[in-house]
């Protein structure tokens, strides 16, 4: 029974693939070694029997095209040996290079080649190139030894022995020290029987190294004086000259200690290492956390429009939406029994006892202002009012109690601990530095730039490096005075421009009167000029005075004011000064305008500018 039948019976869906296609595939796949009938008996799913035929596979086709290249036992000689030992190894016979055209010739060539390869011993052995030896310094001559290399500790013979050994073992110091077995020369011992023959002594590796390096460095220096050495040579020379056997010895002692530690010491070290790892990991974590915090702090301050919340209506609306959000949030969470009870009941029926709880809850996600905001009349719903009142009462009681228990601090202590009292706290978290930052942002861009320039002139950074309470206060004052100064300067500029305009007008007038005089009688011209001149002069005189006073006021304002409380005074002065400046200006503008009216409309624009700047005082004058 096939699987398909079972599927049919059980009402199972058919397999993903359409049936007929699969069958075709199966029939196509019938392996070679099996007959069609037998294969048909196997059905849809062939049993897991590997049907493989043992058949000679033969060589791949490409191989039959290859030429057979025989191997032969060939003698070879190793270039690294000096004795010409001939050994034999199997080697592939080289093919004759050119494919010969004529059979006879090829035969001859082939035999010749074969002979050549078999007879001739290979000259360049492949592995001879690995025969490398360590570079050892040149050997000293007797003279050189006597002049430069003599040592009290080492005889010439022993030095020779050491150098031989070092060369023999290719500077493998471990082996050299192991094999070092110097016997003082027997001849010496016989000749100097009376003299003290030093007993055979044990040389440490450090002693050997020190001697060898000394000799090697000296020989290097003899070969090339240090001034002519190449950089590598000089480095080597330096290194060898600086070898310190004593330090090496102590290092080895330490190494031996390290090797022979007890299990306890090893355990302790591993514990300490673990601890260190933990500490460094903690530190890393701390650093990443702090970085994250900083990156959060640097998020730009949201500058949404807040005007809609400034009216009481807007505020109440905000409160409503916040409460709605709060409620919906509560409804969603069905965890706490308190919240579950609060959710279905309308806001009006919330029991008063619940209020502090809800207030606390809401405080988490709604701004703190919700409680104070409800106290504003006409905005809050009656229920909220009640709740808020209850909350306020509770809070007051709490604070009273707290006041009773908490001991009062003196002002000095308050300063010390940084205790501050706020009339009203702004909602949410805010930073002192942000507040200071805000001060530097004026309404207009130009003004902001000017502020920044002024601060730069005073060498005060735009962003406070250490925004403590006191620094912020001082900064606030400073910004305020700078603002005043800028205002005063603005006014001064304005007045200056007025003066310029008026002077221009005066010149024009003079020119005209001159022309008029030329036209009419010269006698009248003098009269008019005399009459106009003093007027202008008086104007100038009057204008100068307030300007100076304004400047003085500005100066007073900009002057750093350590005494704090006197901020109001200069500003008052400044405003007065500004007023004073305006008044005379308008006063002078009045006659000027009348004069203009007489002379024509060419200067109307400047006049209007003037009148705009001080239309209030103008009106007063007219009255």
State the residues that interact with other proteins by CB under 8 A. Answer: 63, 78, 80-81, 83-90, 125-128, 130-131, 168-169, 172-175, 177-179, 205, 252, 255-256, 258-263, 265-266
Q: How far is Cα 230 from Cα 41, in angstroms, rounded to an integer?
A: 88
Which alpha helices (DSSP H) does 66-204 contain, by range? Answer: 103-119, 142-144, 156-168, 173-179, 186-191
- Distance spanning both ends of the chain, measured CA to CA: 121
CA 358 – CA 571 distance, rounded (Å): 47
Q: Are 134 and 216 in contact (CB under 8 A)?
A: no
Work out whether the CA dihedral 105, 107, 111, 114 comes out positive or negative.
Answer: positive
CB 557 within 8 A of CB 570: yes
* Nearest Cα to Cα of residue 487 among 382, 438, 562, 558: 558
What is the C-alpha separation between 39 and 35, in angstroms, rounded?
A: 6
Are 499 and 606 contacting, i.e. CB atoms less than 8 angstroms apart? no
For the chain, the farthest-separated pair of C-alpha atoms sits apart, in whole angstroms, at 151
CB of 135 to other proteins, least distance (A): 17
Q: Cβ closer to other proteins: 91 or 317?
A: 91
Nearer to other proteins, 178 or 503 (CB): 178
Rounded to a whole number of angstroms, the minimum distance from the CB of residue 262 to other proteins is 7
Run of H or E including 205: helix 205-223
- Closest approach of Cβ 74 to other proteins, in Å? 11
Cα distances from 384 to residues 365, 369, 467, in angstroms, run 17, 13, 39
C-beta closer to other proteins: residue 130 or 417: 130
CB of 174 to other proteins, least distance (A): 5
Q: Which one, of 124, 178, 184, 131, lies nearest residue 154 by Cα?
A: 184
Q: Which two tokens stand for residue 157?
A: 């013979």
Identify which of residues 11 and 181 has a Cβ nearer to other proteins in the complex.
Answer: 181
Least distance in Å: CB of 104 to other proteins? 32
Contact 557, 492 (CB under 8 A): no
- Minimum distance from residue 67 beta carbon to other proteins (Å): 13
262 or 563, CB closer to other proteins? 262
For the stretch 593-602, contacts whose Cβ atoms lie closer than 8 Å and that sit 24 or more positions apart, written own/partner, are 595/509, 595/532, 595/535, 596/505, 599/509, 599/512, 602/508
Record the tokens describing residue 582, joined without a space. Answer: 């305006």
Q: Report the nearest approach of other proteins to the CB of residue 219 (Å).
A: 25
Which contiguous run of DSSP H or E holds residue 87?
A: strand 86-92
Measured from the CB atom, the residue of 41 and 68 that comes closer to other proteins is 68
* Cβ 77 to other proteins shortest distance, Å: 10
Tokens of 56: 């000679």
Tokens, residue 282: 């903690």
On whether the CB atoms of residues 219 and 137 are closer than 8 A, the answer is: yes
* 259 versus 459: smaller Cβ distance to other proteins: 259
CA nearest to 347, candidates 373, 377, 385: 385
Closest CB to other proteins among residues 207, 218: 207
Q: Which of 260/307 has CB closer to other proteins?
A: 260
- Asked if 372 and 424 touch (Cβ cutoff 8 Å), the reply is yes
Structural contact between residues 109 and 96, judged by C-beta atoms closer than 8 angstroms = yes
Q: Residue 176 or residue 454: which is nearer to other proteins going by CB?
A: 176
Minimum CB distance to other proteins smaller for 243 or for 309: 243
Query: By C-beta, is 252 or 511 nearer to other proteins?
Result: 252
Q: Which is nearer to other proteins, 8 or 265 (CB)?
A: 265
Whole-number minimum distance, CB 70 to other proteins, in Å?
13
- The set of residues, in sequence order, having a beta carbon less than 8 Å from that of 386 and lying 6+ positions away, is 352, 355
CB of 138 to other proteins, least distance (A): 23
CB of 274 to other proteins, least distance (A): 16
Q: How far is the CB of 58 from other proteins (least distance, A)?
A: 13
In angstroms, what is the minimal distance from the CB of 99 to other proteins? Answer: 22
Cα separation of 93 and 73, whole Å? 9
Separation of CA 47 from chain center: 65
As given in the structure block, the two tokens for residue 30 are 């019938």
- Could you tell me the smallest distance in angstroms from the CB atom of residue 201 to other proteins? 16
- In the complex with other proteins, the residue whose CB is nearer, 188 or 253, is 253
């Amino acid at each position: 029974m096939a699987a398909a039948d079972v599927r049919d019976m059980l009402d199972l869906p058919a397999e993903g693939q359409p049936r007929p296609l699969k069958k075709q595939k199966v029939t196509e796949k019938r392996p070679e070694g099996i007959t069609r009938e037998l294969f048909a008996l196997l059905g849809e799913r062939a049993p897991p029997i590997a049907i493989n035929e043992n058949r000679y596979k033969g060589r791949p086709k490409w191989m039959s095209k290859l030429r057979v290249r025989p191997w032969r036992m060939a003698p070879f000689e190793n270039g690294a040996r000096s004795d010409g030992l001939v050994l034999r190894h199997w080697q592939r016979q080289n093919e004759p290079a050119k494919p010969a055209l004529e059979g006879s010739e090829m035969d001859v060539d082939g035999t010749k080649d074969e002979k050549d390869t078999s007879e001739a011993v290979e000259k360049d052995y492949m592995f001879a190139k690995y025969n490398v030896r360590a570079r050892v310094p040149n050997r000293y001559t007797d003279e050189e030894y006597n002049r430069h290399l003599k040592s009290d500790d080492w005889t010439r013979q022993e030095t020779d022995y050491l150098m031989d050994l070092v060369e023999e073992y290719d500077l493998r110091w471990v082996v050299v020290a192991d094999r070092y077995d110097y016997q003082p020369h027997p001849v010496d011992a016989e000749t100097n029987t009376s003299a003290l023959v030093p007993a055979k002594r044990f040389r440490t590796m450090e002693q050997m190294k020190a001697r060898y390096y000394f000799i090697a460095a000296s020989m290097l220096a003899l070969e090339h004086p240090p001034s002519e050495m190449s950089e590598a040579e000089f480095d080597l020379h330096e290194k060898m000259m600086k070898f310190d056997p004593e330090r090496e010895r102590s290092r080895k002692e330490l190494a031996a200690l390290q090797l022979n530690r007890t299990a306890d010491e090893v355990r302790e070290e591993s514990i300490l290492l673990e601890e260190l790892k933990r500490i460094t990991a903690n530190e890393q974590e701390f650093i990443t956390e702090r970085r994250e915090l900083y990156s959060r702090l640097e998020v730009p301050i949201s500058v949404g429009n807040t005007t809609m919340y400034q009216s009481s209506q807007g505020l109440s609306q905000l409160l409503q939406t916040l409460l709605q959000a709060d409620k919906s949030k509560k409804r969603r969470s069905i965890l706490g029994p308190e919240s579950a009870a609060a959710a279905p009941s309308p806001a009006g029926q919330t029991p008063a006892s619940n209020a502090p709880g809800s207030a606390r809850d809401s405080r988490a996600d709604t701004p703190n202002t919700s409680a104070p905001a409800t106290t504003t009349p006409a905005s809050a719903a009656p229920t909220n009012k009640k709740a808020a009142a209850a909350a306020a009462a509770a809070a007051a009681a709490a604070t009273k109690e707290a006041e009773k228990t908490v001991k009062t601090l003196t002002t000095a202590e308050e300063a010390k601990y940084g205790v501050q009292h706020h009339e009203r706290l702004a909602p949410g978290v805010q930073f002192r530095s942000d507040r200071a930052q805000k001060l530097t942002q004026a309404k207009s861009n130009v003004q902001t730039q000017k502020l920044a320039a002024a601060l730069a002139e005073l060498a005060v950074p735009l962003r406070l490096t250490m925004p403590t309470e006191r620094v912020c206060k001082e900064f606030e004052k400073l910004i305020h005075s700078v603002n005043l100064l800028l205002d005063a300067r603005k006014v001064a500029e304005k007045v200056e421009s007025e003066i310029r305009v008026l002077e221009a007008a005066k010149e024009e007038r003079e020119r005209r009167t001159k022309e008029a005089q030329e036209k009419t009688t010269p006698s009248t011209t003098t009269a008019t000029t005399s009459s106009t001149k003093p007027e202008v002069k008086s104007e100038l005189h009057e204008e100068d005075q307030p300007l100076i006073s304004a400047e003085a006021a500005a100066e007073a304002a900009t002057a750093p004011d350590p005494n704090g409380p006197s901020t109001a005074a200069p500003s008052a002065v400044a405003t007065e000064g500004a007023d004073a400046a305006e008044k005379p200006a308008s006063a002078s503008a009045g006659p000027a305008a009348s004069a203009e009216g007489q002379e024509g409309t060419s200067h109307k624009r400047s006049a209007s500018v003037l009148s705009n700047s001080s239309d209030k005082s103008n009106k007063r004058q007219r009255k």
